[in-house]
Chains A and B, each alone.
Chain A
Amino acid sequence: MSINRTYDILCVSKATSPITHNRGSEGNETIVSQEAVATPHGIRWVPVLSGNAIRHRMIREPGARFLVDRWGLMGKMELRTLQFLFHGGSLDSGDSNESVARLKTWWRLFPLIRVIGGALPNLIVGGSIHAWRGIMVCRENENRLRTMVPADWMPEGHLLPADRMMGRYQYVRQDAGRTVPDMAETKLMALDEKSGQMIYSGQCVNSGAAFVHGFRLRSATPLDLGCLLLSLGLWEKENGTIGGMAAKGHGRLEMLARVTPDADQTELVKAYAAHVESVKDEAIAWLHSEFGAPREPKKKGKVKA
């Protein structure tokens, strides 16, 4: 019998490459996502990682990939099924069907969705997780950080101000007419064209900066916790990133985590993986019944003579 309880997962992540978790752009420059913090010296704006981004990148995506991999579903799902697993699904049917029995089946088969929530076409349910925002380890956040970590963990002294951990990047999108004109159909034509070179730049959080973040799992079973820990482990193992420009090497974080109350992570993860294996057939059938089975490819008719 599983026991439901509350778990806190405290994480600290250090940037091992520039972080470009952006809020938008101004002209040609991207601007890092920031939040206003009231400090003893007034309001200051400091970089932040949104809880939404953390929840998606660190839990939902690696967790869903694990299910697809273990259940052999690669290339065998309708778009709606993928939407449900990777983006939470959407409530697009007018008639709601809030059956407790249906919900229990759903939760039993998908601890991942029980943790992060999701929507079937006619039923939407919130998850048991509260994802914290990623709070930058900086002077402006000192008071907040002291409430997030155990009292005796924070070293003496003052943290560096956030501004010291902000930097800039700049890249150039080259123009093929200039870099490889010899490969163009007509050399001269390529050179005559207006240059397509573009310089783009923006703010970033420097490598070495750290963020404290975490999760609270409410009324969770050990399977839920195992699911969460496995997802975090997969994200870390597969060089998971946060924010944009991962293709250029941005967004890499090195993460450490602490579970309260203390739990044997290895056993929890193994138990969750075994559970996923045990419900494989039932879960696939459930996905097909809710979202429809993948369509068979059309058979080609005989070619008339």
Chain B
Amino acid sequence: MSATQESVLPAVAPLDSQSFRLMLAGLFSPCEDQGAIEEYRSFGVRIAGLLARHFGPSLDALTKWDRIGTAITSACAKSPQGDPDLLLSAALEHVKAELSVAANPEFSALLTELREKTPTWREGLVNYLQTTLYAVLVFARTKHVAARDERQVERARRKSDDTISSFSLGEEKEIQ
């Protein structure tokens, strides 16, 4: 056998514990701890809530929750590692949020909190959002509607207070 023939004989790449783990990377469920799942849900609801509040005025409000769902799906696909800047920006862009969202303290808080999390945790969040999107939207919508109702009640109460105070002032004037 010639030396050339010998040199081209193939060998199988070696397997050890490290290469085995590398081979299996991505095949593990990032987190199944109940506490972490609660935290993922909370973040999911906050992200969806932020998108609902900053839903672009040029879009059809009737498609709001469909659009928020596709915004989250699309953002997760664009940032499978859950990079906070990209994840939130991509989602906000999808709902055509105005740049004034930068002034929202909730947006700033979400960004900061997500940046403080470990990469594995963030991957877990993306995985959670991808696998439980419908549930996240239900929780977010319930919270969003409750907050909206609360705001309406508050507005009505203020309006009623204003009417009473103006009425009272009128009465005082008449007495005088």
1/0 per residue B3-25: CB within 8 Å of A? 00110011111111101110110
- A158 contacts the other chain (Cβ, under 8 Å)? yes
Find out whether the CB atom of B23 lies under 8 angstroms from the CB atom of A14.
yes
A155-B28, A159-B28 known; A258 vs B11 contact (CB < 8 Å): no
1/0 per residue B37-75: CB within 8 Å of A? 000000000000000000000000000000000000000
A residues 260-275 near B (Cβ < 8 Å) are 265-266, 269-270, 273-274
- A237 contacts the other chain (Cβ, under 8 Å)? yes
Find out whether the CB atom of A233 lies under 8 angstroms from the CB atom of B11.
yes
Chain B: which residue is nearest A214 at the CB level?
B15
Identify the stretch in A120-128, A145-153, A179-187, A283-291 within 8 Å (CB) of chain B at 4 or more residues. A145-153
Instruction: Please report the C-alpha to C-alpha distance between residue A232 and residue B5 in the assembled complex, in whole angstroms.
Output: 17
Find out whether the CB atom of B12 lies under 8 angstroms from the CB atom of A233.
yes
A157-B32, A160-B29, A273-B6 known; A257 vs B12 contact (CB < 8 Å): yes
Q: How far is the CB of B121 from chain A (nearest CB, A)?
A: 13
Chain B: which residue is nearest A165 at the CB level?
B27
Q: How far is the CB of A109 from chain B (nearest CB, A)?
A: 17
Chain A: which residue is nearest B16 at the CB level?
A258
Instruction: Please report the C-alpha to C-alpha distance between residue A160 and residue B29 in the assembled complex, in whole angstroms.
Output: 5
Find out whether the CB atom of A230 lies under 8 angstroms from the CB atom of B9.
yes
- A103 contacts the other chain (Cβ, under 8 Å)? no
- A208 contacts the other chain (Cβ, under 8 Å)? yes
Instruction: Please report the C-alpha to C-alpha distance between residue A277 and residue B5 in the assembled complex, in whole angstroms.
Output: 11
Find out whether the CB atom of A209 lies under 8 angstroms from the CB atom of B27.
yes
A residues 171-216 near B (Cβ < 8 Å) are 208-210
Q: Which of B20, B26, B27, B28 contacts A256 (CB 8 A)?
A: B20
Q: Which A residues are in CB contact (< 8 Å) with B13? A: 236, 255-257
Q: Which range contains the number of B residues in contact with the other chain?
A: 20 to 34
- A129 contacts the other chain (Cβ, under 8 Å)? no
A157-B32, A234-B10 known; A137 vs B27 contact (CB < 8 Å): yes
**Interface class of chain B by DSSP:** loop
Find out whether the CB atom of A256 lies under 8 angstroms from the CB atom of B32.
no
A12-B15, A257-B13 known; A157 vs B24 contact (CB < 8 Å): no
- A229 contacts the other chain (Cβ, under 8 Å)? yes
A137-B27, A155-B28, A158-B32 known; A233 vs B10 contact (CB < 8 Å): yes
Q: How far is the CB of B118 from chain A (nearest CB, A)?
A: 14
Find out whether the CB atom of A152 lies under 8 angstroms from the CB atom of B12.
no
Q: Which of A153, A157, A165, A269 contacts B20 (CB 8 A)?
A: A153
Q: Which B residues are in CB contact (< 8 Å) with A119? A: none
- A293 contacts the other chain (Cβ, under 8 Å)? no
Which of B1, B9, B14, B17 is the most central at the interface, judged by chain A CB atoms within 10 Å of its CB? B9
Which 3 pairs show the lowest CB-CB distances between chains A and B? Answer: A233-B10, A256-B15, A258-B15
Q: Could you list some 30 contacts between A and B, CB below 8 A?
A: A10-B15, A11-B12, A11-B15, A12-B15, A12-B20, A12-B24, A137-B24, A149-B20, A150-B17, A155-B24, A157-B29, A158-B28, A159-B24, A159-B29, A160-B28, A160-B29, A165-B27, A208-B26, A210-B27, A232-B12, A233-B9, A236-B10, A255-B13, A256-B14, A265-B11, A266-B11, A270-B6, A270-B9, A273-B6, A277-B1
Taking Cβ atoms with an 8 Å cutoff, the residues of B that contact A are 1, 5-6, 9-17, 19-21, 23-24, 26-30, 32
- Please give 4 more A-B residue pairs, beta carbons under 8 A apart, in addition to A159-B29, A233-B11, A257-B13: A155-B24, A160-B29, A210-B27, A273-B9
